[in-house]
Amino acid sequence: MIVKLKFNRDNKKKNIQLVKDRKLFEAKITELESKCNEEMKLKFGRIVDLEELEQVTVNRQVEELKEKLRTTEIECSDDLKRWEVSLTSCKHKSLVTLLRCISVIVY
């Protein structure tokens, strides 16, 4: 019974200390949020939603990668067109050469 009372007394002291600590931390958080808001007002002229800012940053990276992909696709498409022109030219030259050879053999 005495052990239980001592245990309860200790738990009550711990609880009181935890409540005090929580109040101190809440006050510190409020103070830091206030300081953060003041700094944002000085730097940006208004309070900025940091989560929204992070999302914009991520979207910017995505857009940069999409642009890089489009540029690469255009370059590859241009290369493919050059190779097709070159292939067509080589086919034409081969056909002309073949026809000359055939005409020499036939005549």
Convert 63-72 to b/e letters by CB count within 10 Å (16 or more is b).
eeeeeeeeee
What does the pLDDT read at residue 81? 96
Is residue 24 domain-resident? Answer: yes
What does the pLDDT read at residue 103? 85
Report the domain count for the chain: 1
What does the pLDDT read at residue 13? 93
Q: Which residues of the chain have pLDDT under 50?
A: none
Is residue 29 domain-resident? Answer: yes
What does the pLDDT read at residue 66? 92
User: Which residues have C-beta within 8 Å of that of residue 41, sequence separation ≥ 6?
Assistant: 47
Is residue 8 domain-resident? Answer: yes
User: Which residues have C-beta within 8 Å of that of residue 46, sequence separation ≥ 6?
Assistant: 40
Is residue 98 domain-resident? Answer: no
Whole-model pTM over 0.75: no
Q: List the one residue out of 47, 49, 45 whose CA is nearest residue 37.
A: 47
Is residue 107 domain-resident? Answer: no
Phi, psi (degrees; rounded to nearest 5) at 47: -85, 130
Q: List the one residue out of 33, 9, 32, 29 whose CA is nearest residue 21.
A: 29
Is residue 14 domain-resident? Answer: yes
